[in-house]
Amino acid sequence: MKHLITTKDFDKNEIEALFEDAREFLDEKPRTLLEGKSVTTIFFENSTRTLSSFESAARRLGARVLRLDVSRSSSSKGETLYDTAANLDAMGPHAIIVRHHHSGVPYLLAKHLHCPVLNAGDGKHAHPSQALLDLFTIKEHFKNEIEGRKILIVGDVKNSRVAASNIELLGRFGLDITLVAPPHFMPKTSLKSSFELSERLVEGADIIMSLRTQTERHQKAIYASLKDYANDFCLHANLLTKNPKLIILHPGPVHRNIDISDEVMASSQSLVLKQVKNGVAIRMAILKKLILEK
């Protein structure tokens, strides 16, 4: 039995096979592959996209979905995570999808549960399904020719699990990564990095992945206001005009006019909604793999 805790859980061949399935699932037709199976979602942290994306994916494959409402569950009455997990396990789900504000929770659950555990985001650590859908979106756009493509990962890289998972995965698939962030958002890294989103960098890039400032993960306010951050790092149309082939990704939720301007969001360079569409197909492929492959 396999889990998806970090992108490292799948090798390159497994990822290519996953993408083949996902390409078929883009037709959005309902399927019966997981008929009779049940999938539990348990999100200890807010989510719009990832929760609904996983639940749509499970339903589109014919599975039943049990959403555990954490605010009403016994964990808010002091039940330990282990006991919550053991009780869920006793109901015999075929997969559990978990998001938690502490890094490592999906890994701990996986040790105790008797079904595949899918990490839907844990603290600052990892968000593997997001990185897989990002890689898939890049591959689809560039018709599989991604080796050596230049990507700028811009924003609060240090606190972003999306960045952490993408750095591992995109690096493994041969993308040329540069981190762009102010000093306090820059992790220790051996990758290329810049404290400035310069015209030169933008002109030389194929892809920019913009990230939300993870204000909920900052111990103290780092920028006097997000406006100051936006002055330096917001993706504005005038910055992008010189490079019309550049594509823009963002995992959502987007802070409009702080991460990306309204104009850029509305332009054909932004693949943000394509990412959301691709996300359902990728999560269908992940669920199919983890539940049906022994």
Q: Which of 2, 23, 31, 49 binds ligand NCD (CB under 6 A)?
A: 49
Distance between CA atoms of residues 163 and 177, nearest Å: 11
Distance between CA atoms of residues 266 and 149, nearest Å: 24
**Residue 5: other Cβ atoms inside 10 A:** 22
How many of the chain's residues bind ligand NCD (CB under 6 A)?
A: 10
99 is annotated as contributing to ligand binding: yes
C-alpha distances in Å from residue 263, one per residue of 68, 100, 203, 255 = 38, 34, 19, 13
Distance between CA atoms of residues 206 and 208, nearest Å: 7
Least distance in Å: CB of 127 to ligand NCD?
Answer: 5
Size of the chain, expressed as the number of residues it contains: 294
217 is annotated as contributing to ligand binding: no
- The verdict on 162 binding ligand NCD (CB under 6 A) reads yes
Dihedral sign from CA coordinates of 240, 244, 247, 253: positive
127 is annotated as contributing to ligand binding: yes
Q: Which of 3, 139, 149, 161 binds ligand NCD (CB under 6 A)?
A: 161
Least distance in Å: CB of 199 to ligand NCD?
Answer: 26
Q: Is 92 left (phi over 0), alpha (psi -120 to 50) or beta?
A: left
Least distance in Å: CB of 285 to ligand NCD?
Answer: 17
Q: Which of 6, 7, 41, 50 binds ligand NCD (CB under 6 A)?
A: 50
- The verdict on 261 binding ligand NCD (CB under 6 A) reads no
With beta carbons less than 8 A apart as the criterion, state whether 119 and 161 touch. no
283 is annotated as contributing to ligand binding: no
3-state DSSP helix/strand/coil % of the chain, to nearest 5: 45, 15, 40
Q: What is the footprint of ligand NCD within residues 99-158 (CB under 6 A)?
A: 121, 127, 130
Of 84 and 130, which has the nearer Cβ to ligand NCD? 130
- The verdict on 182 binding ligand NCD (CB under 6 A) reads no
Residues forming the site for ligand NCD (CB under 6 A): 49-50, 121, 127, 130, 161-162, 212, 251-252
Query: From the annotation, which residues make up the binding site for carbamoyl phosphate?
Result: 49-50, 99, 127, 130, 252-253
**Residues comprising the binding site for L-aspartate?**
77, 161, 212
